[in-house]
Amino acid sequence: MKTELKTRVLIVGGGPVGLTIAMDLAQRGIDVVVAEIRHRGEPPSVKCNHVSARSMEIFRRLGVAKALREAGLPADYPNDVAYRTSVTGTELSRIPIPARRDRYTATGGPDTWWPTPEPPHRINQIFLEPVIFAHAESTDGVRILNRTQIDGFAQDAEGVDATGTNLDTGETLGIRCDFMIGCDGGKSMVRKQIGAKLSGTDVVGRVQSTYFRAPALLGLLKYEPAWATFALNTRRSGNLYAIDGKETWLVHNYLHADETFDSVDRDWALRTILGVGPNFEYEIITKEDWIGRRLVADKFRNRRVFICGDASHLWIPMAGYGMNAGLADAMNLSWTLAAYLQGWAGEGILDAYEAERLPITEQVSQFAMNHALALQAQREGVPQDIEKEGPEGEAVREAAGRALYELNVQQYCCGGLNFGYFYDKSPLIAYDQESPPAYTMSAFTPSTVPGCRTPHVWLKDGRSLYDVLGSGYAIIRKDPSVDVAPLLAAAERHGVPMKVVDLDAREGTEVYDHALVLSRPDQHVAWRGDACPADCLALIDRVRGALGKSGHATVESSAAVIAV
């Protein structure tokens, strides 16, 4: 037997990236089918441990941030990152990070300054994914097909025909869709079939990783617990993540270049990293060994088929930017695809995803790899006297702790990676003569330069600017006397959703230095000025992807060459 289905968008893969795209598309009125090979409720592997601030902004917009905040570690469990000679040994330094109970109210320290309504959240994927799944499953317009494997597909001018298999019954499935998105992981079938090839650094490092249960470990700690604890000694260095804050843990044993997963005794390495003796009891739940890579696909699209997340890029998860980069992909693609399917955007809007995300992916993956190499150098250069007693050993530990803090505070309080990146070669953005400000992993300068993240400000009534921007375009107006009627009329002519958000004189004056800033649905600046452009229709054609590569309007547009 063969079942036939029809949908606007088929998403292959029901992990966090695929489910996030599904939710956003459905909330924009686009019906979606998600095909996932796992059983309903089957947990993912224990990998992602961090949701970035930018990702939490996405989840806030989708209405699931509050539920995510209530999941994961206990509310009062410290989210700190600690550095010790072993997990149960002497502490070298600590990066203070607020527990989730204090996340919105904590002040002081390196991780409380976030210019956003949603700072980061430490949560393992085994707790995160069920929350997202439940929210997606309850969203009108989303249909999730568990135990469904998509085997292949064929494209034509109007859509995609995918074939799949029900893994429980063996039944064949046919799905006709307008577009298909591959969120099917590092071994992506979709990536392979569209002819995209990964390139970069195939092996940055190998990690022998073990998910285990040890109820007694908390009682052996000499210091306050931490979300992440890095152990550095001359015998074996690694790090430990608290999973449930009670008895389950994930330990990473970083292998040397000449070691393999099987050549290092797992039990010895785990005990050495923890600093426990032969009588310490623990239970291995799963082995989660992995290879850190820096690989980026050479294209993210073939006509009506796109790839997102690990299907399009793989890198060592420094700064937690594996899943989070995939979520950034998801929101970039989702609104542009919805705009086209809603009928108000031109075909050029579909070119923006690869034009914007591929360069950023390459850039951020370099940040992650370089940081991983710097950490590797620290692990391999652990001073011989780091565990020596007396003043000499104390001096060594103090210096090591300071170096560890200074290097790693960049990745655990990484404002630059969250908010500093910009799109500088987009077909949808009307650029001016000003260059975006440079950024590092940790630092950035909020800016209204087109292509940058729309700067967040708190409004005088206590609301976040992001909560009032809406799901379409928004004209952020600093001076209410500036007439925006021509721009609104041009948007209305082509059905582009656009609203006006007026700032009070005291709101955002330090960063909103133009009278008008046009913010996209994904909170990136599309244009700015002190008055409406001379040709508002041309600007609208630019932002809705209705201009050809020459800068001229396409057939469907009535506007002429852009002049803004």
Distance CA 469, CA 454 (A): 10
Domain boundaries along the sequence of the chain: 4-71+123-199+294-367, 422-544
Residue 375: pLDDT band (50, 70, 90) is confident
Residue 552: pLDDT band (50, 70, 90) is low
Give yes or no for residue 318 having a pLDDT over 70: no
Q: What's the confidence (pLDDT) of residue 564? A: 25
DSSP 347: G
Cβ neighbours of 28 (radius 10 Å): 19
Number of residues in the chain: 564
Residue 3: pLDDT band (50, 70, 90) is confident
Specify the higher pLDDT residue, 508 or 539: 539
* Nearest one of 144, 189, 446, 438 to 311, comparing CA atoms: 189
Which tens digits make up the pLDDT trace of 162-208? Answer: 999 999 999 999 999 999 999 999 999 999 999 999 998 888 889 99
Kindly give the interhelix angle for 485-493 and 536-543, rounded to the nearest 10 degrees: 50
Superfamily of domain 4-71+123-199+294-367: FAD/NAD(P)-binding domain (3.50.50.60)
Mention every residue, 6+ apart, whose C-beta is less than 8 A from residue 477. 484, 500, 501, 502, 503, 515, 516
Give yes or no for residue 80 having a pLDDT over 90: yes
Quote the tokens at residue 139. 């969203």
Q: What phi and psi values does residue 219 have, to the nearest 5 degrees? A: -70, -15
Handedness of CA 466, 468, 472, 474 (dihedral sign): negative
Q: What's the confidence (pLDDT) of residue 319? A: 56
Q: What residues pair up with 302 in beta bridges, in sequence order? A: 305
Distance CA 59, CA 66 (A): 9
Q: What's the confidence (pLDDT) of residue 440? A: 87
- Report yes or no: 212 and 271 within 8 Å, Cβ to Cβ: no
Q: Are strands 228-231 and 81-84 parallel, antiparallel or unpaired?
A: parallel
Of 263-267, 459-463, 556-560, which gets the smallest average pLDDT?
556-560
Distance CA 533, CA 237 (A): 58
Q: What's the confidence (pLDDT) of residue 413? A: 87
Q: Is 540 exposed, middle or buried (0-12, 13-18, 19+ CB in 10 A)?
A: buried
Q: What's the confidence (pLDDT) of residue 553? A: 57
Cβ neighbours of 534 (radius 10 Å): 11
Which tens digits make up the pLDDT trace of 245-282? Answer: 999 999 999 999 899 999 999 999 999 999 999 999 99
The third-level CATH classification (topology) of the domain covering 422-544 is Glutaredoxin (3.40.30)
Q: What phi and psi values does residue 33 have, to the nearest 5 degrees? A: -115, 130
Quote the tokens at residue 256. 């040397």
Distance CA 216, CA 440 (A): 40
Distance CA 375, CA 333 (A): 33
pTM for this prediction: 0.93
Mention every residue, 6+ apart, whose C-beta is less than 8 A from residue 535. 559, 560, 562, 563, 564
Count H helices and E strands in the chain, helices first. Answer: 14, 23
* Nearest one of 259, 461, 456 to 474, comparing CA atoms: 456
Give yes or no for residue 541 having a pLDDT over 90: yes
Cβ neighbours of 260 (radius 10 Å): 10
Which tens digits make up the pLDDT trace of 442-452? Answer: 899 999 999 99
Give yes or no for residue 562 having a pLDDT over 70: no
Q: What residues pair up with 297 in beta bridges, in sequence order? A: 198
Which tens digits make up the pLDDT trace of 331-356? Answer: 999 999 999 999 999 999 999 999 99
Helix-, strand-, coil-residue percentages of the chain, each rounded to 5: 30, 25, 45
Of 9-18, 93-102, 252-261, 374-383, which gets the smallest average pLDDT?
374-383
Give yes or no for residue 317 having a pLDDT over 50: yes
Mention every residue, 6+ apart, whose C-beta is less than 8 A from residue 351. 427, 545
Distance CA 308, CA 330 (A): 7
Distance CA 378, CA 411 (A): 15
- Report yes or no: 259 and 242 within 8 Å, Cβ to Cβ: no
Give yes or no for residue 560 having a pLDDT over 70: no
* Nearest one of 396, 397, 325 to 358, comparing CA atoms: 325
